[in-house]
Structure 1
Amino acid sequence: MSFLTSLSGLKAAQSDLAVVSNNIANGSSTGFKKSRAQFGDLFAASPTQNTAKIAGQGVQLQGIKQQFTQGTLESTDRTLDLAVAGEGFFIVKSPNTTGSISYTRNGAFSVNNNREVVDSTGNIVQLLPVDANGDLSSNNPADMTNLVLPQTDPSDPNAVLANVSVANNGNIIATYSNGNQQALGSLAMASFVAVEGLRPIGDAHWQATGASGLAELAQAGTGQLGTVRSGSLETANIDMTEELVSLIAAQRNFQANAQAIETANKMTQTIVNLQV
């Protein structure tokens, strides 16, 4: 019994080590959110047994929980480098035929050869329409459109795009060489009732699940959504000192359980030799 108990401890320590190692490995990943392994004890007894005389049966992994705390915002001076100061996610859409939607905190956006604003994996940033006052006119997912930078002023084909700015509320403003300005829309931002239920798919992207609930779309800076900071990127929410301490703790836990298995093995051998 003690062998199986310590073996469960070894597996738990290995899982903990894997989670901490993944956190450390992604210390430089933009928009990455750290995780923590959560464990629970194993105990079994029949209704007639006196539980005061029964030892536990080890430990089990209950789950790996993501922690969506705010990372540090670092200045980059690139207009299309965007960060969320507070809660919320940028919404991006796959360029392939499936058009799958995902959510990200990695705002390192750029322009492709089709003048679409895309993230590091090629997904296209999504916009929601705004009215003449710059307020969101619809938060219906069906009204989302791809963020495409115009080449010329729609009212003056001779005036080329001179500059693009992003306001704190996510509004995208295009300025042309003739001085005219055009509101392209507002960045589609999403929040979730149970953000820990999001399914990670890599590259600081997540997908909605039944556990997270449906995405609630709104304009940045409204409700529980944070504001958008242009010219900044959010670093991973990793405290390297804290992770190294957790790494040492997981290593010691592993060593202690390994020692317990070795001790149990020696005791079993001693008992067998006495019986012989």
Structure 2
Amino acid sequence: MSFNIALSGISAAQKDLNTTANNIANANTTGFKESRAEFADVYANSIFANSKTAVGGGVATSQVAQQFHQGSLLLTNNSLDMAIQGSGFFVTSNEFGTQDYSYTRAGAFKVNADSYVVDAAGNYLQTFPVDSDGNSTSVSLSTTRPVQIPDTAGSPAQTQNVGISMNLNAKDTELDPAAFDPTDSTTYNSVTSMTIYDSLGEPHILTSYFVKPIGGSFTGENNWVAFYAVDGNQVDVAGGAGSYSADLDGDGTALGNTPTLAQTTGGWAGSVLTFNAVGVYTGSSPATITTEALGVSGAGVIGAGADGSQTLTIKFNNPTQYAANFSATELSQDGTTVGRLTNVEIGTDGLILATYSNGSSVPLARVALVRFANEQGLIQVGNTSWKASINSGQAIAGEANSGTFGSITASALEQSNIDLTTELVDLISAQRNFQANSRTLEVNNTLQQTVLQIR
């Protein structure tokens, strides 16, 4: 029996050495979790045996248990690298539509030839679907799906609404709107430009010119004239131009409405902005500033292939008229061109946000995390991955940075949680244990030889 005890000790020591060697071999494996060989004594006793004099039967390996404590983070330059700080596992699948999931802490992800986010083995990262505001529409593991990062962002959309806000200098010289010439900077006081888009996504430059008209400033009211051009070509206000009151005799009292701007400027139909005595915007003439059609039948400033009925509604968002230099504080428009992917960001909550060259930011999906009641019950399947088992319990899905789930750090990887110093000490201990059990086996052999030589 002593032979068997010694052999069990040698087997246990070998298991301990193998476990330690495997830990050391994976000291630089991303997401690797160290293992610990756990042993139990072997003891058997019958009803009529004397338990006081019974000797144990050796040792057996009860479990090689993985230790899931946090590894240190390594910062990288890959925006798709992810590390979990806290509890949770990434979910991967080897094909579309399957629910045969694997779970990993190794977050070294990249895109494949079809722009899907995958790991080094080609397994697809599973994510929760999100709406246009980035809110998850489901957090069920069964609804997760691979995420694809589009190289382009949607279809172009023509500009329909333009927002402008600025300060017009109250100290500017009064000019004659009838003399306005966009090629002569002495005929207008200020100018600002912005990019707009037609229905094909082609960019155009909308330019707004501002003229402080002669006689347009009197007690309680100040007028400014605005003219518009696209790509340097005249664009009139639809339905006729605005008009303004003028104090042409300088007595501080308006004489009445001047002719419309279309008449006074030789065909340029613009709008009029009105401010009160403290420089606050009070309205415009016309009240709704909409341009004529930009196509051939209107201003003729966009190509024949685009939507020629496109018009621009220009809204002045609380402009001011103070005694300060001209400055544009808002230039906004609602059109877009086709965008090319410029950046991918992943938030601490796992939201994957793609940014495109047209200025749009599109929430694509949210990285799914899972946790288990008993992590040590997971089954190792290689590639630093695990499968669920009866002992681990069912996978519980959730969002990062919520509840008991950890947060996600982008452009970082979780390193192995191996402590090489501890492993080398364990290696020496396992070696000593192996030698001691080998010596026990040798002594037992000597005793057997002695018995066999008795005559």
Instruction: Indicate the SS of the match to 1:182.
Output: strand
Q: Is the 8 A contact 1:95 1:122 kept in 2?
A: no
Query: CA shift at 1:133, angstroms?
Result: 5.0
Instruction: Indicate the SS of the match to 2:391.
Output: coil
Residue correspondence of structure 1 range 39-118 to structure 2 within 5 A? 39-95=39-95, 100-118=100-118
| Identity %, equivalent residues | 43
Query: CA shift at 1:238, angstroms?
Result: 0.1
Query: CA shift at 1:264, angstroms?
Result: 1.1
Query: CA shift at 1:228, angstroms?
Result: 0.4
Aligned in 2, Cα 1:43/1:142: closer, same or farther, shift over 3 Å?
closer
Is residue 171 of structure 1 aligned with residue 328 of structure 2? no
Query: CA shift at 1:268, angstroms?
Result: 1.8
Aligned-partner Cα distance in 2 for 1:131–1:191: 24
Q: Is the 8 A contact 2:96 2:146 kept in 1?
A: no
Which shifted more, 235-244 or 263-272? 263-272
Query: CA shift at 1:206, angstroms?
Result: 0.9
Residue correspondence of structure 1 range 162-201 to structure 2 within 5 A? 162-201=342-381
Query: CA shift at 1:98, angstroms?
Result: 5.5
Residue deviations 1:112-161 (CA, integer Å, cap 9, x gap):
11001110110011110234553433112232121100111124362111
Instruction: Indicate the SS of the match to 1:187.
Output: strand
> 2:31 maps to what in 1?
31
> 1:230 maps to what in 2?
410
Match for 1:179: what amino acid?
G
Which shifted more, 164-173 or 46-55? 46-55
Which shifted more, 248-257 or 91-100? 91-100
Aligned-partner Cα distance in 2 for 1:103–1:244: 29
Instruction: Indicate the SS of the match to 1:210.
Output: coil
Residue deviations 1:72-113 (CA, integer Å, cap 9, x gap):
101112111110011101111103786631111111111111
Q: Which has the higher contact order (CA 8 A, sep 6+)?
A: 1
Aligned-partner Cα distance in 1 for 2:416–2:355: 33
| TM-score after normalising by structure 1 | 0.95
Aligned-partner Cα distance in 2 for 1:99–1:114: 21
> 1:264 maps to what in 2?
444
Aligned-partner Cα distance in 2 for 1:245–1:97: 47
Instruction: Indicate the SS of the match to 1:83.
Output: strand
| TM-score after normalising by structure 2 | 0.59
Larger radius of gyration: 2
> 1:130 maps to what in 2?
130
Q: Is the 8 A contact 2:388 2:395 kept in 1?
A: yes
Mind listing any 5+ residue stretches in structure 2 that lack a counterpart?
157-336
Instruction: Indicate the SS of the match to 2:65.
Output: strand
Residue deviations 1:163-205 (CA, integer Å, cap 9, x gap):
1100000000111111111111110111111111111111111
> 1:19 maps to what in 2?
19
Q: Is the 8 A contact 2:350 2:367 kept in 1?
A: yes
Q: Is the 8 A contact 1:115 1:148 kept in 2?
A: yes
Query: CA shift at 1:28, angstroms?
Result: 0.7
Q: Is the 8 A contact 1:43 1:56 kept in 2?
A: yes
Higher helix share: 1
> 2:302 maps to what in 1?
none
Match for 2:373: what amino acid?
V
Match for 2:445: what amino acid?
N
Match for 1:190: what amino acid?
V
Mind listing any 5+ residue stretches in structure 1 that lack a counterpart?
none
Aligned residues: 275
Aligned-partner Cα distance in 1 for 2:97–2:354: 29
Q: CA RMSD in A?
A: 1.5
Aligned-partner Cα distance in 2 for 1:258–1:141: 51
Aligned-partner Cα distance in 2 for 1:267–1:253: 21
> 1:8 maps to what in 2?
8
